[in-house]
Chains A and B, each alone.
Chain A
Amino acid sequence: NAGVTQTPKFQVLKTGQSMTLQCAQDMNHEYMSWYRQDPGMGLRLIHYSVGAGITDQGEVPNGYNVSRSTTEDFPLRLLSAAPSQTSVYFCASSKSTSGSRDTQYFGPGTRLTVL
């Protein structure tokens, strides 16, 4: 199993550009989530999904969209990039739909810089 994969590993955007961060898992996990990690801070939840077709907002959803058309994929879209979105983004998955009650499996992260 590849586990949780994320692409790209690095990305530089200009303010106002849009892009999609890709996340895929091959463990048939129901719960998937996106976090951002900023220096000196813990992870902050952006959006999460408890199954295909079901998404919800986390702590910091503004400026981001998600969709979950399949169990495997959970892309994160930045609508109009801003310098405040410069961060490292992690995708995670867990087996059960209760998500937070279960072990999280993380991808390697995407380091995004917005100029």
Chain B
Amino acid sequence: GQQLNQSPQSMFIQEGEDVSMNCTSSSIFNTWLWYKQDPGEGPVLLIALYKAGELTSNGRLTAQFGITRKDSFLNISASIPSDVGIYFCAGPGTYKYIFGTGTRLKVLA
């Protein structure tokens, strides 16, 4: 079945640094969703991507399709301590959403 692979699995960064993570699929998605999850809470939708070739932003977050539409990228600029958490990508399948394995972000103050 479809699966999404995220990389890196985890990363430590210094506060103020820019962060980049990606998600790859075995098939094309016309929509990509990016979520952030804090411990013990439900994932929060950060960005929904619908248009290939365009950057979609939400504050310091920017996301875009990859060239093949089988991948997507999320960038966080000037990271702050509250960016800590797990970031998931997702795409709509047949009456279900396919989720990535997550990227755990840890920020060093």
Same assembly: no
